[in-house]
Every structure is written in structure tokens, then in C-alpha cells.
Amino acid sequence: MDDTEDQGPADDAILELAEQPLGSLHRPLSQVVADAIRQAIVGGQFTPGMRLVEDRLAAKFGVSRNPVREAVRALAAEGLITVVPRHGAVVADLSAEEVRETVEVRATLEGMNARLAARHCDQAVVRRLHDILAAGLAAVRSAQVGALPVLNAQFHDTLGSAGRNRVLTDLLRTLRERTGHFFPTGGPDHAVKTWNEHAEILNAVVAGDEELASLLAQRHVKSAEATAATDQ
Amino acid sequence: MDDTEDQGPADDAILELAEQPLGSLHRPLSQVVADAIRQAIVGGQFTPGMRLVEDRLAAKFGVSRNPVREAVRALAAEGLITVVPRHGAVVADLSAEEVRETVEVRATLEGMNARLAARHCDQAVVRRLHDILAAGLAAVRSAQVGALPVLNAQFHDTLGSAGRNRVLTDLLRTLRERTGHFFPTGGPDHAVKTWNEHAEILNAVVAGDEELASLLAQRHVKSAEATAATDQ
DNA sequence: GACGCCCATACTGTATACAATATACGCTGA
DNA sequence: TCAGCGTATATTGTATACAGTATGGGCGTC
């Protein structure tokens, strides 16, 4: 009976190790490099328009050009980098119009996702969302602005998973990354607004109110854009 | 006066040649290969689950593995191919659930696009849509099923450009490709339904009725899925 | 001094070579 | 006969080398 499920503690540890396949943790260099570049872009170290020369990146990361090339191409597919044939790659520098279009699509999809989240309302996820929300509101009150970007990302990621549509989740993640580093992190008043909106969205989701959740999520995206635009 | 604009016919021809930059037409091998593989997949020559071995593709296209690798990775980013590290690439073989999720997203975005098209209603584009629609309806009546897939793609592409949101247009194109080859091209009755729906959508767009256009476009996507599902 | 040409340089595109890893087959021993 | 092991083979991952193409600066000419 417990032959398959529950064995001795020692065996358990071994099994646990085996069930987390080590192989899947060994990511190819191209992915490691891609993550590093992605972090550098969203973290603001690589600024829009900056050239990405394969040789230099390869030297910087201590790898050959090939993994770097693959990483650059992958990030280009995500929209974080622009590659011009025979000229090279630069960190994507979107025009105001392109940012607007991206935000427009993102707003629609965030709305859709909130609607799905309200429909498939899951207790465990809701609990996690409440925790993140509480942490966010606490950080806002104590003016711990440093923790806010991480909490914000966590809230949106978790809400994304609540919609139970992986295609949508993936799309939203890349769309968020594409425009994220164009908006400077707003001031404290902006943070208050953001987290109040988060609270309202979560309320609507918990209440199972699809229409309201969708509407609030859409507005949330658009208001963030408007705030950032006026801030600049 | 006519030094810059209108010169003799011979010079005109030269200018015309120069203004269509030849350089931008010279696509890298990786893109050419990617197009070839894409065509093979959507055309049904490469079937879902089929392995894509770099060496063989390289030999088949008469290039080295490098461009093939890039092409495969690019198509993986589009969702047409699945790459498992150290195992290789296969033509994407989506589960019923994944197809459903993709179609769900696509329906929402097609709805959004139709809404935008109704808003930005452009005479020239509307004329082209009418032309394509007429050709489609004619093909349906004369049972020229061979021409329908092309006309269908044209209709959706043109409608996509009518929305004037390139981010959305690009997303929709890849989403269409992702699921397209999973649905067998339906019978004549299905074609009649499809093109009647096209007509209704176009009517709503021309009338500037955003709500109706959006609703009809969403239903169009979902009904196509349902038909294909029952056909199978 | 300004224009155009040519060459040096830098970088990307493509090919080839080698290393690391997965898969399949056959072999041995019970 | 079959399980387990080990090797052979196939394939991907990474590195290096060379070719093709853009870019900028120096030089000569007018």
C-alpha cells in the first residue's frame, strides 16, 4: 500500500531528489545568457537603443558567440530586442505609438485573464494573492518602495496563473516585460493607487464578478500607462 | 523642380529600383529556412509530433546546421515547434486543452481587432475586404474549395491590418498559424458558414458598430473551432 | 576647403569541428 | 528468457574559423 507512495524518510529524500529531475535544471548556456540579458534589460542596465554586440557579450559572459546569438534571437522574439539583419541587435526602443499599441493589447488580455480568474476562482491561489496584496499594502504604508516592483510582479504572475490559461499567461508575461522598463517606477502616490487597484481587482475576482474584474484589470493597465506618461 | 521627383522614364526605372532597397530583400538563410519549415508545417508536410533533426534539415536545404538551428528556435518562439533541451525539436503537437486555450486567446484578440477595425474604418481597406469577400463567396458558390484557404488567410490578414495595431496583428498571425493546421479544412457547408460570418463581420465593421464587430469576430473563431471539433 | 574614393576596421552571417549527452542495441550472466 | 550493463551510434550543445557586409576615417583631387 505504501510501497509506491510513502516510504522511509531516507528513501523519501532520495525519491524527492529523483522526482525533481536534475537534468531539467541544467539549462543550456543560451538560456542562461538570455536570462542574464533579460535581467539586464528589465533592470535598466541595458538601456533602450543600446547596441548588443555578440563578441562583447560573449566575452562578458565567458562563452562563445553561438549561445549569445541564440539568446539575442530569443529575446528578439519576445520583443525585448530589435535585430536588424547585417547591422546588429539593439535593446528595443519602442516609439510612443508602439508602446501605446502594446499597452492596448496588454490591457485587453489582462482583462480577459481577470475574467478567467474570477471564473475559475481557486482557494489556494486566492490565499496567495491576499498574502501578496497584504505585503504590498504594508510596503506602501511603510514606504518600502524597494520591495514594490517584486511584489507587483508577484501579484500579476499569480493572478496570471489564476486564469488557468498558459498561453495567455505566457503572452502576458512577455507583454509586461516589453513595456515595463519604459515606465519609470512612479512615486509613492502612484504606488498607493496601484495597490488600491490591486485590492479592487482581487475583490472582484473573489466575488466571481467576471465583468467587474475584467473592467478593473483593463483600467489598471491603462491608468498605469497614463500615470507614467504624465510623470515623464 | 522635376529633378528630385519626376525624371525621364529610364531614370524613373532606376530610381524605382533604388527606392526598393535591394538589401532589405536579401534575407539571411535562417529566415529563408524558417519560412520553408513554416510552410511545410502549415502546409501539412511536416505533421505534429514529427522530429526535426538539425542535420537532416541542413542537408535537405543545403545549408549548415547553424541557420537551421536559428530557424527552429525562431519557430519555437512562434509556438509552431517544441524544443526539448538535449532531445531535439518536434513539430508542435498541442493537446486538446492547449488548442482550446490558444483558440480562447485568439477569439478575444480577434474580437479586439474587429472592434479596432470598426473604429478606424478605412475606405481603402474596406474596399479590399469587399473584394476578398466577393471572391470568397464566389469560390464557395462554385465549390472552388482549393482557393478558399488562401482567400481566408487574405481576409483575416487584411482585417488584421484594418485594426491598425501592429502588435496585435503580429500576435494574431502567429496564433492563427499555431492552431490552423490542427483543424482539417471543413466541408462545403462549413465554407458557406465561414464566409457568411465573414460577410456579417465586415458589415459590422463598415457600420462602425464596435460591439457587434467584436462579438461576431469572437463567435467566428469559436464556431470554427466547434465545427472542426465535431468534424473530427 | 569640400567632395568623393578607397581602404582599414568592426561586426554579422555561415560553415566546420569538437565535446557532451541521449538513445538503442547487443551482450553477458543468471 | 530476461534483467542489467556497457558500448556504439545519433544528435544536440558549444567553440572556433572564415567569408560577407557595413561603417568610419584618411587621402587625394578639384
Tell me if chain A has a CB within 8 Å of the CB of B109.
yes
Q: Flag whether A10 is in a domain.
A: no
Q: Give tens-digit pLDDT for B59-104.
A: 999 999 999 999 999 999 999 999 999 999 999 999 999 999 999 9
Confidence (pLDDT) at A230: 54
Residues B62 and B102 in one domain: no
The whole-angstrom distance between A168's CA and the closest CA on chain B is: 6
CB proximity B196–strand C (7 Å threshold): no
Residues B87 and B102 in one domain: no
A67 nearest nt, CA–C1':
D14
Average pLDDT estimate for B107-116 = 97
CA nearest to nucleotide C20 C1': residue: B86
Tell me if chain A has a CB within 8 Å of the CB of B60.
no
Structural domains of chain A, count = 2
pLDDT surpasses 70 at A28: yes
Own/partner long-range contacts of A90-98 (Cβ < 8 Å, ≥24 apart): A90/A48, A90/A49, A90/A50, A90/A51, A90/A52, A91/A41, A91/A46, A91/A47, A91/A48, A91/A49, A91/A50, A91/A52, A92/A48, A92/A178, A93/A48, A93/A49, A94/A48, A94/A178, A94/A179, A94/A182, A98/B166, A98/B167
Confidence (pLDDT) at B182: 83
Query: Pairing mode, if any, of strands A88-91 and A51-52?
Result: antiparallel
pLDDT surpasses 50 at B11: no
Q: Flag whether B188 is in a domain.
A: yes
CB proximity A67–strand D (7 Å threshold): yes
Q: Flag whether B80 is in a domain.
A: yes
Tell me if chain A has a CB within 8 Å of the CB of B23.
yes
| Domain, as residue range, for A161 | 96-231
For all residues of chain B together, what is the average pLDDT?
88
Q: Give tens-digit pLDDT for A38-84.
A: 999 999 999 999 999 999 999 999 999 999 999 999 999 999 999 99
Last residue of a domain, one of A39, A74, A91: A91
The whole-angstrom distance between B154's CA and the closest CA on chain A is: 22
Q: Flag whether A167 is in a domain.
A: yes
Residues B16 and B37 in one domain: yes
Contacts of A89 in chain B (CB under 8 A): none
Question: Scanning every residue of chain B, which has its alpha carbon at the shortest distance from the alpha carbon of A168?
Answer: B105
Q: Flag whether B163 is in a domain.
A: yes
The answer for residues whose C-beta is within 8 angstroms of residue A149's C-beta and 6 or more apart is A185
pTM of the model: 0.88
- What whole-number distance in Å separates Cα of residue A121 and Cα of residue A207? 9
CA nearest to nucleotide C23 C1': residue: B87
pLDDT surpasses 90 at B33: yes
Residues B102 and B162 in one domain: yes
SS3 (DSSP) at B26: coil
Q: Give tens-digit pLDDT for A110-153.
A: 999 999 999 998 899 999 999 999 999 998 888 777 888 889 89
Residues A46 and A158 in one domain: no
Last residue of a domain, one of A91, A113, A143: A91
Cβ pair B162, B122 in contact under 8 A: yes
Q: Which of A19-23, A171-175, B170-174 has the lowest mean pLDDT?
A: A19-23
Cβ distance B66 to A66 less than 8 Å, yes or no, reads: yes
CA of B67 to C1' of C12 (A): 13
Last residue of a domain, one of B69, B91, B113: B91
Residues B214 and B166 in one domain: yes
CB proximity B89–strand D (7 Å threshold): yes
Q: Give tens-digit pLDDT for B183-220.
A: 877 677 888 899 999 999 999 999 999 999 999 999 99
Cβ pair A102, A178 in contact under 8 A: yes
Q: Flag whether B119 is in a domain.
A: yes
Residues A43 and A120 in one domain: no
**∠ CA(B11), CA(B14), CA(B18), 5° rounding?**
135
Contacts of B221 in chain A (CB under 8 A): none
The enclosing domain of B72 has a CATH number of: 1.10.10.10
Confidence (pLDDT) at A1: 37
Residues B143 and B47 in one domain: no
Q: Flag whether B1 is in a domain.
A: no
Q: Give tens-digit pLDDT for A166-204.
A: 999 999 999 999 998 888 776 777 888 899 999 999 999
CB proximity A86–strand C (7 Å threshold): yes
pLDDT surpasses 50 at B3: no
Residues A120 and A188 in one domain: yes
Confidence (pLDDT) at A232: 43
pLDDT surpasses 60 at B28: yes
Average pLDDT estimate for A213-220 = 97
Residues A42 and A115 in one domain: no
Residues A168 and A223 in one domain: yes
Residues A68 and A129 in one domain: no
Q: Flag whether B207 is in a domain.
A: yes
The enclosing domain of B101 has a CATH number of: 1.20.120.530
